[in-house]
Amino acid sequence: MAEAAGSDSSLWQGALAGIAARTRGNIVAMSRKAEEAVTAPHDPGAFPARWRLAVAARIANLNGLADIAGHYLAGVSDPALRALAEPSAAGRDDRERAVLAFMDKVAAETRAVAAEDIEGLKAAGVADADIVRLCELNAFMSYQARVFAGLAILQGESA
């Protein structure tokens, strides 16, 4: 797989994931594959792997998980892309501003997302397939953030 987000240092191979792996090793392995599918897919559509890593870091930051954000940013060297990991960064052009506003809302105010948010992306020129790709990246990161936030509070007891 091309430029996976740290094949050798996956979060899913770390100590926290080890807590889940004691009973659910298959799920840890599948989660790692899912991470590769959203951060380094064979067909990235309109959103290249480096951009995805920066946005993955942004969603980790929205979830208060600086360590996970740092993990993803380690794979991004372009300063203009690294800047997107900060939720205060609005984006570099109209289309990116629309995409990032959408990503922030889906990540942090999920219940408020409505049909007009999807219409807004279409109006900004984002194709249907790319809308689905954005949602999968966002949704996976939201899953991963909660797995690690949950496992972190078990760490003291079962280390």
Partner 1 sequence: MSRVVHRFTRTVPEWRPRVTPVDLAEATPEQREALKITPSNTKVSDYVLVLAHDPETLSVRSPLFNAIMYDSGGMSRAEREIGAIGASIVNRCIYCAAVHASRHAQLAKDTAVTDELFARGEKAALPPREQAIFDFSVKLSQTPPAVTEADAACLREAGLSEAEIVDLILSTALFGWANRLMHVLGDPVRNDD
| Choice from 7, 9, 30, 48 touching partner 1 (CB under 8 A) | 30
Q: How far is Cα of residue 131 from the mean position of the Cα atoms in its chain?
A: 14
Lookup: tokens for 52 = 């995805």
Report, in angstroms and rounded to the nearest whole number, the Rg of the chain calculated over CA atoms. Answer: 16
157 near partner 1, judged by CB under 8 A: yes
| Choice from 77, 79, 88, 158 touching partner 1 (CB under 8 A) | 158
140 near partner 1, judged by CB under 8 A: yes
53 near partner 1, judged by CB under 8 A: no
Query: Minimal distance in Å, beta carbon 66 to partner 1?
Result: 11
16 near partner 1, judged by CB under 8 A: no
Directed axis angle between helix 15-39 and helix 128-152, to 10°?
170
Q: What is the spatial distance between Cα 125 and Cα 140, in angstroms, rounded to a whole number?
A: 24
Residue 16 · residue 51 · CB < 8 Å:
no
Lookup: tokens for 54 = 């920066």
The site for partner 1 (CB under 8 A) is made up of: 19-20, 22-24, 26-27, 30-31, 33-34, 37-38, 41-43, 45, 62-65, 106-111, 113, 115, 117-119, 128-129, 131-133, 135-136, 138-140, 142-147, 149-151, 153-154, 156-158
